[in-house]
Amino acid sequence: SNLSQVELLERIENIVTAMGYCVQKKNGRLKVVMQKGQKSPGSLCVAAEVFEISPSLYVVELRKSFGDSSIYRQLCKMLSNNLGASGSQDLLTQPLLSAEAVSNVC
């Protein structure tokens, strides 16, 4: 994503709280868990961490500890749609260097 680390973490927190989950923050990471007292088939525990690839590119890593895989996939899709993420196909079709940059190197 091109969003900053702070913006990404805020958006993740907003999305998961809207889904009815609690967020625990620690050391720049988010842990997503069911609200206390809730026991349902939709239980899920996920950790989210944001890594800086370059000053304008960040990657969000989600790790599922336990819970419903279909809800995890739903969360992944929702986050991908709302975090300014490029689809992997878009990344594969974008040139790494512009033609001008290549001609300057050669």
| Euclidean distance between CA atoms 26 and 24, whole angstroms | 7
pLDDT digits (tens, 9 = 90+) for 13-59: 999 999 888 999 888 889 988 765 555 666 789 999 999 998 888 99
Tell me what pLDDT residue 93 has. Answer: 46
Query: Sign (positive/negative) of CA torsion 56, 62, 63, 65?
Result: positive
pLDDT for residue 65 is more than 70: yes
Residues 49 and 60 sit within 8 Å (Cβ to Cβ): yes
> Higher confidence at residue 24 or residue 86?
24
What DSSP string describes the chain?
--S-HHHHHHHHHHHHHHTTEEEEEETTEEEEEEPTT---TT-EEEEEEEEEEETTEEEEEEEEEEE-HHHHHHHHHHHHHHTTPPPHHHHHHS-SS-HHHHHHH-
Domains of the chain and CATH, by start: 5-105 (3.30.310.80)
